[in-house]
């Protein structure tokens, strides 16, 4: 499996959203992005930028209590929050969204890691001392490595 990583620092929520908006331009039907980071790190903020890049007009909010929210734009956006699924052993049907006709974003994906395909983009968001954000973006698989290369070139 191809593995490539980049590190990006964003100083504001707007910068985080702009990075995600730029990334959205390279995604394809069936794209999977997993997000990790502590509470308040900016996972939903990142997803809002992704939605903007996919021309989604609806306000994107955290699906913490609903587990899944679906938005329609250039590609459908399936936004899953797995925070409340730790240790849950039942099938919730997320596979149909993970490998779908749209882009799937999963927050707290480590709670459902056994459902995840190897190929994806993982983004770990860390809060730094000055309240900026460090995004460690890792591509797993050739298709995602190409996306990361394109993101770096522009």
User: CB-based burial of residue 154 (10 Å sphere; 0-12 exposed, 13-18 middle, 19+ buried)?
Assistant: exposed
Per DSSP (E only), the strands in 16-87 are 32-36, 68-71, 77-81
The two structure tokens encoding residue 146:
């190409």
Q: What does the domain layout of the chain look like in residue ranges?
A: 28-133
Chain segment 36-78, per-residue pLDDT in tens: 999 889 999 999 999 999 999 999 987 666 678 889 999 999 9
Evaluate whether 147 touches 123 at the Cβ level (below 8 Å): no
Higher-confidence position of 101 and 154: 101
Looking at domain 28-133, its CATH architecture is 3-Layer(aba) Sandwich (3.40)
Residue 36 and residue 110 in contact, taking contact as beta carbons nearer than 8 Å: yes
Per-residue model confidence (pLDDT) at position 89 = 46
pLDDT digits (tens, 9 = 90+) for 112-123: 777 788 999 999
CA–CA gap between residue 134 and residue 126 (Å, rounded) = 5
Q: How confident is the model at residue 97 (pLDDT cuts 50, 70, 90)?
A: low
Q: What is the mean pLDDT of the chain?
A: 87
- Residue 83, pLDDT score: 64
């Amino acid at each position: 499996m191809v593995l490539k990583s980049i590190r990006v620092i964003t100083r504001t929520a707007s910068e985080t959203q702009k990075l995600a908006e730029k990334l959205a331009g390279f995604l394809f039907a069936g794209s999977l992005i997993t997000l990790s980071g502590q509470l308040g790190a900016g996972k939903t903020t990142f997803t809002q930028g992704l939605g903007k890049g996919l021309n989604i007009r609806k306000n994107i909010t955290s699906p913490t209590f609903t587990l899944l929210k679906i938005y329609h734009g250039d590609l459908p956006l399936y936004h899953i929050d797995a925070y409340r699924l730790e240790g849950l052993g039942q099938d919730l049907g997320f596979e149909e969204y993970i490998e779908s006709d749209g882009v799937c974003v999963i927050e707290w994906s480590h709670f459902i890691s056994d459902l995840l395909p190897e190929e994806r983009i993982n983004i770990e968001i860390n809060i730094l001392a000055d309240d900026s954000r460090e995004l460690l973006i890792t591509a797993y698989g050739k298709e995602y490595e190409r996306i990361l290369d394109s993101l770096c070139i522009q």
